[in-house]
Amino acid sequence: MKKKNQNFSAKVQGLLKTNTLKLNLQDIGIVLSVGDGIARVKGLTNVQAGEMVEFEAGIKGMALNLEPAVVGIVIFGDDRDIIEGSFVKRTKAIIDVPVGDFLLGRTVDALGQPIDGKSHFNNKAKRSRVEVKAPGILAKNQCMNQCKLELKLLIV
């Protein structure tokens, strides 16, 4: 554990010396643990549910479990590339994917990026959020007609 703390301290000191730390501290977090495609991250106090985050390794994820001290993030990629103590930053964008007829016959990943080797989608493609509230149940009209039910019993 001491080695991890030294690595973290060295990273922060390096960023402060080079003056490249321009992010708001509420917009970054530190990976506490990784396993089964889920990362537990300390920090990210302003993150929203469903917001896309980016790990230091370049892998993207979605913030889902917002606890007071720790944020649970679903990882969209190989979690073996994410190590404890690495940084995570907010993108300030709720996850959305392209939608439309142009997707017919295409193979895309969870973020809507083509993985079939064909050309990328048009930037003007319509996009829709991944997490949306389901439409409500339609109100039913009450049945005013009585139904007669006849039962015939056949005894053999």
The string of pLDDT tens digits covering residues 83-122 is 999 999 999 999 888 888 888 888 988 888 888 888 887 7
Torsion region of 32: left, alpha or beta (phi above 0 gives left; psi -120 to 50 gives alpha): alpha
124-142 confidence digits (pLDDT tens): 778 888 777 777 776 666 7
Architecture of the domain made up of 2-94: Beta Barrel (2.40)
Domain with CATH 2.40.30.20 in the chain: 2-94
* CA-to-CA separations, 58 to 3, 18, 72, 79, in angstroms, rounded: 23, 21, 18, 11
pLDDT over 50 (residue 77): yes
Give the model's pLDDT for residue 1: 46
CB-based contact 87:29 (threshold 8 Å)? yes
- Among 89, 81, 74, residue whose Cα is nearest residue 37: 74
